[in-house]
Amino acid sequence: MPTRKPKHIPFAKRTRSAQKRAYWNVQKNILRAAPILGGKFYSRHYMHGQNGWIDGYFLGSSKPIYYNFSLQTARYAYKEKVEELAWERSYEIAPIETNPSIFDRTVKDPTSGLYVTPAREPHRYPELVGMTRLDWSQSQLPDIANGLEIKVFEQWTLHRDYHSGIGLHATIDVPFLTIEAVNDFIDRFMQTQSAFKGKDALAFRHEQIAHWGIEPNAIAHPWEWGSEVEEQDDSLGEVDPTLQRASNAIEREVLLGSGTPVETMIAKLEAHVEAGRALKGSAD
């Protein structure tokens, strides 16, 4: 018997109890990640200091509102548009190659007796000076980028059709998405909590963009970063049992729905950590 896919329900139309549970879960993760991310947001993307984009969550000014954000740098947005234009131009010059049917290329392996399909060699186009489509597109990136014809803007838009929180798509003019840059963006957004578009168009030369091509992000909770974080900042990589105990205690408060404001919980966490480290220092 076929199963029906559950209907997507926007966050605003979910039950109040479902909204609160989702809010508390985000709040819990923000608090647990506070010693590393600063207590304003949570992301499962490993932040190494040179991210071009990340996804994450932060709380709104009133319960149970929280924002499900997708954040990118203006340089990353510019790079994406340049690469897309290069790809589109390759099709204007050279239409797509004829792709032989997979059955036409399937042969029987005399050793195993199985039918196999050899990998197809990348097609080289005479119109693209004998290059593959990918290689030709890559070769065009410097000229397109340095032409500065493409423009991007600092901007963010709200999307209320998300199942989890309110969607927030944002582009900001910073070299990389560091923890400090994300926290600064959240402060800016929270002043109005509304859509925004900057007046100044932005464009970048090829050498101003550190990385071209696909930019994957490793998935890991901030408290799982471990040795990778230690390499960036030894103070964040320390194993601190006081911190763990304080974090666990605050997590219990969240799960019990104590109603304690986030700022108060973070202050408690910081106070516990400082007291524990001071005690440890005097013992040493």
Chain segment 154-203, per-residue pLDDT in tens: 999 999 999 999 999 999 999 999 999 999 999 999 999 999 999 999 99
Q: What is the pLDDT of residue 3?
A: 53
> What average pLDDT does the structure give for the chain?
83
Block residue for tokens 């005690």: 279
**Contact indicator for 186, 177 with CB cutoff of 8 Å:** no
Strand segments, DSSP code E, in 89-226 are: 107-108, 115-116, 155-159, 166-172, 196-197
Q: What is the DSSP letter of 103?
A: T
Q: What is the pLDDT of residue 114?
A: 86
Predicted TM-score (pTM) of this structure: 0.74
Q: What is the pLDDT of residue 255?
A: 46
Q: What is the pLDDT of residue 111?
A: 84
DSSP 24-84: HHHHHHHHHHHHHH-SSEE-SB---S--SEEEEEEE-SSTT-EEEEEEEEHHHHHHHHHHH
Q: What is the pLDDT of residue 242?
A: 47
> Number of helices (H) and strands (E), helices first, in the chain?
8, 8
Q: What is the pLDDT of residue 240?
A: 45
β-pair type (66-73, 166-172): parallel
CA angle 86/92/96 to nearest 5° reads 100
Of 165, 180, 207, the C-alpha closest to 47 is 180
Q: What is the pLDDT of residue 136?
A: 96
Q: What is the pLDDT of residue 221?
A: 93
Below-50 pLDDT ranges, the chain: 1, 228-245, 254-256, 258, 280
**Widest Cα–Cα separation across the chain:** 77
Q: How far apart are CA 209 and CA 202, in angstroms?
A: 13
Of 169, 161, 165, 155, the C-alpha closest to 67 is 165
Rounded to the nearest 10 degrees, the angle between the axes of helix 241-255 and helix 16-37 is: 170
**Token pair for residue 92?**
């204007």
Q: What is the pLDDT of residue 233?
A: 40
Block residue for tokens 């219990």: 252
Q: How far apart are CA 13 and CA 19, in angstroms?
A: 9
**Contact indicator for 67, 58 with CB cutoff of 8 Å:** yes
